[in-house]
Amino acid sequence: MFKKTKVAILGATCFLSGAFITKVADNKVTVGMLQNAQHLLGLNFTNAQLDSATSEVEELRASYESIRKQPLTNDVAPAIMFNPIPVGFTFEQKKEKFEVERAKKTKLPVNREELAFYTVPQLAELIKTKQISSEELTRFFLARLKHYGPTLECVTTLTEELALQQARKADQEIKAGKYKGMLHGIPFGVKDLLATKNYKTTWGSVPYKDQQINMDATVVQRLEQAGAVLVAKLTLGELAMGDVWYGGKTRSPWDISKGSSGSSAGSASAVAAGLLPFAIGTETLGSIVSPSTACGTTGLRPTFGRVSRHGAMALSWSMDKIGPIARTAEDCAIVFNAIYGPDGKDLSVQDAPFNFNKSIDVKTLRVGYLKKDFEREYGFKANDQATLEALRKAGIELVPMELPDMPARDLTFTISAEGAAAFDELTRNGRDQLMVKQDKNAWPNTFRAGRFITAVEYIQAQRVRTLMIQQMHEKFKDVDVYISPSFASNNLVLTNLTGHPCVVLPNGFQKNGMPTTITFMGKLYGEAKLLAFAKFYQSLTDFDEQHPKLAAK
């Protein structure tokens, strides 16, 4: 019995908590120490039982100190891997041709500024038909980034030299008849937690603001292979939380007095302001959904294990996901098609096809909605109800459903535990004090508190997570996709834990002029049907075509 509980006692004791270690005479662990630890954890061992454990606790502490001497950079993943696939789940095996419609009638606008809000297919048509070169388009977006970037505080680094090299290469390839597809020659940006050769990768954080990682993340490599042109590293809230970074606070282009939310703050802000056609973001617990809402963009959070995280900052190995932020669901599909799939480096990535094509009939899909959540009183309710009504009028039958009754929010300490491990050295060497935010809800305090999460409780939480995944699998036996409020629901938290994909898309405005969004959910590895359904909704409305009137400083 003690073997099973001593780690729980140990994990909560302050003398094991890195930066909180207090030297005790002769490194002795006392019964009094363990009494304090067990009170913290709600345990009730006798003094005799605790006394029997002291020597083993001392041995474990010595093991911890030995382990800490091993260099562990952020890119080293633990030898345990999260798998969101429930018992009885299967995904498609056959890979079909990826198809989207060409925007054949697209012409170069007289007012070049209109290019800022063209979709990927529209820009692709202009490049393919040689109405504009990739270099011209790249210079256009670089100029917008330089002009509006300081106002929005959305850029950490412009990759101008690289961008112009890539754009000229794209033009040469296209001229030679080697057109690679719709991303060929299209400028884009990435959240600055993705590594890029010869440029800083700052993670938005003071301790890392001069960091250089001499490699390109897999996502960056794949977009380059598709012919896309990297023009900027974009801001993220420090270590992937919020919109405050070492250089300031990223703004929403709809109202620059308001933050863009986060943590994919710069990605959403830049796309919404027409500084880029698309950008790459990441989500652990809302970091694509939240800034897309504040900025009015369309974002895809893919299934966990869809896109390689090789070269990306790790916050939570079992919850981090990478996805595109763009103007439309179709744009997201085009980008996702270029970045998904195994690379042999992120071993969580499954080899599942993405069979998105223009012939999907969305009216054959079974569509659920979270009836009780939509019936609550909340800020976006009127716009969400209008979304449901628009779909009903278009012939979509909406089936009421509810999420599993599980303690999803209580499981979010998974991020605290994994994040504390990912940034263990930062905490123990005291460099966390350099970070911008130091309040009780900021990372420094969260990482310290994470040292008090016990191994037993962490593992128990993951076992509950297994039950949650299985129950969600049962729910999806009745629907192909379902609709949820973006925030007035347990959905965001629960599905980030289960690994399900979502598309967040604009569906109106608040009275103060800020945009609102609604969330469409898909089955695991079901991005094709999910994005097709989102595209269908966007064909019924024009919210994705509304753009902010941004005034630069």
Architecture per CATH, domain 112-406+463-542, reads as Alpha-Beta Complex (3.90)
pLDDT in single tens digits along all 553 residues of the chain: 333 333 333 333 333 343 333 444 467 999 999 999 999 899 999 999 999 999 999 999 999 999 999 999 999 999 999 999 999 999 899 999 999 999 999 999 999 999 999 999 999 999 999 999 999 999 999 999 999 999 999 999 999 999 999 999 999 999 999 999 999 999 999 999 999 999 999 999 999 999 999 999 999 999 999 999 999 999 999 999 999 999 999 999 999 999 999 999 999 999 999 999 999 999 999 999 999 999 999 999 999 999 999 999 999 999 999 999 999 999 999 999 999 999 999 999 999 999 998 888 999 999 999 999 999 999 999 999 999 999 999 999 999 999 999 999 999 999 999 999 999 999 999 999 999 999 999 999 999 999 999 999 999 999 999 999 999 999 999 999 999 999 999 999 999 999 999 999 999 999 999 999 999 999 999 999 999 999 999 999 999 999 999 855 5
Single-letter amino acid code for the residue at 309? R
Quote the pLDDT of residue 358: 83
State whether the Cα torsion 420-426-428-430 is positive or negative.
negative
DSSP state of 307: B
pLDDT at res. 21: 39
Q: What are the residue ranges spanned by the domains of the chain?
A: 1-70, 112-406+463-542
- Say what the pLDDT of residue 551 is: 58
Is this prediction's pTM over 0.85?
A: yes
Residue owning tokens 């710069």 = 266
Chain centroid, CA 207 distance in Å = 22
CA distance 108 to 127: 10
Which helix (H) or strand (E) element contains residue 462? helix 455-475
Q: Are strands 481-485 and 367-370 parallel, antiparallel or unpaired?
A: parallel
Burial 459-473 (b: 16+ CB within 10 A, else e): eebbeebeebbebbb
Look up residue 7 and give its amino acid: V
pLDDT of residue 11: 36
